[in-house]
Amino acid sequence: MLLGASAFLRPLPAQQAKLPFAPGEKLRYAVRWRLLPAGQAELSLEKDAAPGRWKAIAKANSSGYVSNLYKVEDEYTSTFRNPSFCSLGIRKLIHEGDRHREVNIQFDARRRLALLRDGDAAGTTPPKQEQFAIPDCVHDILSAVYFIRTQPFEVGKTIEFPLNDGGRTISVRLEVQAIEEVQTEVGKFQAFRVEPDVFSGHLFKQKGRMFVWFSTDANRLPIQLRAHIGIGTITASLVAIEREDGNP
């Protein structure tokens, strides 16, 4: 797909209304693979040291039997502008099985370039460095979560936005499919079920389907994720909510 500012028709963040989240929010998830407990994941939001910037941090760790099969210790850190949610960059520390990588992607909006640096976390081999064209505003896989939460949801409608994960920028289509009741450890929610088109070479090479449930209330919490892929179904379900105001 040819890139440019006009290549994507993006809905704008809901800047006039109160945002459904604030720095200090921390969401914790229990992860299951098939029927087995597989690990934990955490998503937190902080203010960056620079004004007008926020930082999202995602951590994922395997545990138990699954960790013996395939150990995972990942940490992603995204920095993005508030209130546009345009990403400034993302850093990935990846420990998955025998794969230990450090990936840095910086987004230069002025030059409309994504600058990728992908190397061995131990620094034993020279890192791969590449550049890719981007539009003037692009999201990474973490800033996209917060951008999505600001959007108006309506069953039958589609949300579209540009996303870059270190290669060509893609236009992700998020289909709002239904409102369903979802039970979690922190309570029962009415939630929008959405499906992003990220498999079959769009973002991920493998075939599969992914569904995410966002609460219908003002917090628009991502309460559950379910991915159906070749190795089976992976589910992440919300188990804890923390906010700086002390409210759950």
Residue 6 lies in a domain: no
Residue 248 lies in a domain: no
| pLDDT of 14 higher than 70 | no
Residue 78 lies in a domain: yes
Which secondary-structure segment (H or E) carries 143?
helix 143-149
Burial class (CB in 10 A: 0-12, 13-18, 19+), 164: buried
Beta bridge partners, 55, equal 46, 79
| pLDDT of 1 higher than 50 | no
HSE of 124, CA atoms in CB hemisphere, 13 A: 3
pLDDT, position 3: 26
Tokens 């906010």 belong to which residue?
243
* Percent of the chain surpassing pLDDT 90: 84
- Binning pLDDT at 50, 70 and 90, where does residue 244 land? confident
Residue 10 lies in a domain: no
Mean pLDDT across 232-243: 98
Average pLDDT, the chain: 91
Residue 192 lies in a domain: yes
pLDDT, position 57: 99
pLDDT, position 223: 98
Residue 15 lies in a domain: no
Residue 7 lies in a domain: no
Beta bridge partners, 87, equal 80
User: How many domains in the chain?
Assistant: 1
- Binning pLDDT at 50, 70 and 90, where does residue 123 land? confident
**Do 245 and 236 form a contact (C-beta atoms < 8 A)?**
no
Q: Which domain holds residue 46?
A: 25-242
**Do 39 and 59 form a contact (C-beta atoms < 8 A)?**
no
What's the count of helices (H) and strands (E) in the chain, helices before strands?
A: 2, 14
| pLDDT of 215 higher than 50 | yes
Mean pLDDT across 139-166: 97
Residue 207 lies in a domain: yes
- Binning pLDDT at 50, 70 and 90, where does residue 203 land? confident
- Binning pLDDT at 50, 70 and 90, where does residue 202 land? confident
